[in-house]
Amino acid sequence: MAATYSSAVRPAPKGPQVFINFRGAELRNSFVAFLEPILRDASINVFIDKDEVVGTNLANLLVRIEESRVAVVIFSKDYTSSEWCLDELATIKDCRDQGSLSVIPIFFKLEPSVVRELRGIFGDTFRDLKKKYVHEPERTQKWEEALESIPTIRGLYLSERGDQNEREFIDSVVCETQRLMSQIAVRGNPKIESNQDGGFLIPARRLDIAHSDNPEKWMWSSIYDRTYRADTEIATMINIHTLIKVTGDFHTRKLTPGRKYEVVFLVSLDDTALGWKKKVTLTLKLVMADKSQSEHDKALCLDEYIGENWVDIHVGEFEAPPKKDDAKIYFSMHQYVDTDRKSGIVVKGVAIRPVQ
């Protein structure tokens, strides 16, 4: 589906993200135009392709699927004419197979058996598209596997000739989405997450982000982090300000003595992000129990990262001291330029990783 977003602000409701997969040319200005605001009114954190900037490539949308906890897949008559819909569907299947995503199939005025068995125009259109991409057999095989798997999940069916109208059907979609969401608990007191490589993620909620308690300046929402296999809240800078200041600390007792670690901020900048041509200052300080310390500063321009997915902003490296030394690291990213107003940065957290 092509991206048609015109704002730098992500969805306002908090909670795990719900990705809507649908044929835009067919449903964007009809069924989905009614479904989306009703889901938002129910405080569901909806993501559809217009929440990306015009010109965004498909890879960005696939990352949004990986960050979601629920996917609503709307099968319609023209669905299989879109390779983007099918690429998204293949990613949805992969995430479901890995246990990170729940899926609600919706059969919109289309018999479920037609989708499952690839019958009629729905199936013929898919076979025509498959022939068009005959030179990409791995890609089309993933489409076929997804079309065999996802429609077998218990879903919701709106008959073209049934008694249920679209508004009643939308209410049932909202109820089913809320039912799944109620089974997904987002931690109110986020933990520092670890992974099998010996790295740690300090989520944005554990950081001190200047003015992040002001909803007119920062917005909080939730995504799923596949690396750490955990829901995590992210902070999005909205409107425009002159200051960014993000600080945090971490006790080294959890680290392997003598091993070198790197500290990176995990951020994303929207395509419409402004004010990042001037360099931000990044600081890393190691403070020992005896108050001795070492500090490293660097300056970096974030403008080159605009439009990318999550990027690592490298702060510095340090060697973990002996556990008995009871040391702590402190890190920060800040900039204040009153002539260079900023917007569009999203903060996921800070990662502390062993240097390979």
Q: Which of 36, 52, 66, 88 is catalytic?
A: 88
DSSP 27-85: HTTTHHHHHHHHHHHTT-EEE-GGGSBTT--HHHHHHHHHT-SEEEEEE-TTGGG-HHH
Q: What is the per-residue pLDDT for 170?
A: 94
Nearest to 282 by CA among 247, 252, 311: 247
Give me the tens of pLDDT residue by residue for the chain, a chain 356 residues long. 433 333 334 445 667 889 999 999 999 999 999 999 999 998 898 998 875 544 456 678 888 898 898 999 999 999 999 999 999 999 999 988 887 889 999 999 999 999 999 999 999 999 999 999 999 999 999 999 999 999 999 899 999 887 788 999 999 999 999 888 876 654 444 567 677 778 899 989 889 998 887 878 888 888 887 777 777 889 999 877 778 999 999 999 889 999 999 999 999 998 888 889 889 999 999 998 888 899 999 999 999 999 888 999 999 999 999 888 878 999 999 998 777 788 889 999 999 999 97
Q: What is the per-residue pLDDT for 13?
A: 61
Q: Which CATH architecture has domain 193-354?
A: Sandwich (2.60)
In the annotation, is 216 catalytic?
Answer: no
Q: What is the per-residue pLDDT for 197?
A: 77
Q: What is the per-residue pLDDT for 188?
A: 46
- Give the phi and the psi of residue 131 in degrees, each rounded to 5: -65, -35
> Using an 8 Å Cβ cutoff, are 54 and 7 in contact?
no
CA 290 vs. chain centroid, Å, equals: 42
CA 69 vs. chain centroid, Å, equals: 10
And the tokens for 139? 């890609």
- pTM value > 0.85: no
The ranges assigned to domains in the chain are 17-182, 193-354
Q: Which CATH class is domain 17-182?
A: alpha beta
Residue whose structure tokens are 């600390």: 249
Q: What is the per-residue pLDDT for 10?
A: 40
